[in-house]
């Protein structure tokens, strides 16, 4: 189930900060656990693909090291997510939010693909900051509060701590690029 999703999303990259807002449901319609699992996994895959693009295009060592961290950390969290949905026998459910993430990510991947050198490095890191702000905000305000399964909620809370660290790391890298 998620393996098919991984293949489908392999061509997708980074989201803009508006993607989560565009795909968000009305406040009275909270996402279900299968939808939350799909959103979280999709967001992780998007950042993995973005980081792999950066590993091939970045010219700055610090940017490449950051991208390596993104691949390692998001692959680890997504493996935990796969293990959890298999354990719980939950089938992740595609939804408006995950579709919006994928659309925005594809657009951003194409945009970043046209850049090179320092221009790519700055644009990639700036987008990583916006990406993590958006994902962290969605985790805090929508996904974690909406999760009903305690194990899913715990995984999302762990992910939030990791992704808050990613945002801080990206901000540090951006400051060094100026």
Domain-located, residue 137: yes
Q: Which two tokens stand for residue 72?
A: 């390692």
**CATH number, residue 49:** 1.20.1260.10
Q: Which domain holds residue 84?
A: 2-10+31-177
Report if residue 21 sits inside a domain. no
How many folded domains does the chain comprise?
1
pLDDT in tens, 10-30: 222 223 333 343 444 444 579
How confident is the model at residue 74, as a pLDDT?
A: 94
Q: Is residue 172 part of a domain?
A: yes
Residue 117 lies in a domain: yes
d(CA 164, CA 177): 20
Would you say residue 149 lies in a domain? yes
Domain-embedded: residue 169: yes
Q: Is 61 a domain residue?
A: yes
pTM for the full predicted model: 0.83
Cα–Cα distance between 144 and 149 in angstroms, integer?
10
């Amino acid at each position: 189930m998620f393996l098919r999703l991984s293949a489908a999303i392999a061509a997708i990259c980074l989201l803009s900060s508006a993607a989560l807002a565009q795909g968000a449901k009305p406040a009275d319609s909270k996402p279900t656990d299968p939808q939350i699992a799909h959103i979280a996994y999709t967001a992780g895959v998007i950042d993995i693909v973005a980081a792999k693009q950066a590993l091939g295009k970045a010219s700055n060592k610090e940017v490449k090291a950051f991208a390596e961290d993104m691949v390692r950390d998001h692959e680890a969290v997504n493996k935990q997510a796969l293990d959890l949905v298999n354990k719980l026998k939950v089938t992740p459910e595609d939804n408006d939010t995950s579709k919006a993430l994928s659309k925005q990510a594809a657009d951003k991947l194409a945009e970043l693909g046209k850049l090179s050198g320092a221009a790519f490095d700055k644009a990639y890191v700036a987008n990583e900051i916006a990406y993590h702000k958006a994902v962290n905000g969605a985790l805090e305000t929508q996904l974690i509060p909406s999760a009903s399964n305690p194990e899913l909620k715990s995984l999302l809370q762990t992910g939030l701590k990791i992704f808050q660290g990613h945002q801080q790391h990206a901000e540090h890298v951006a400051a060094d690029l100026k």
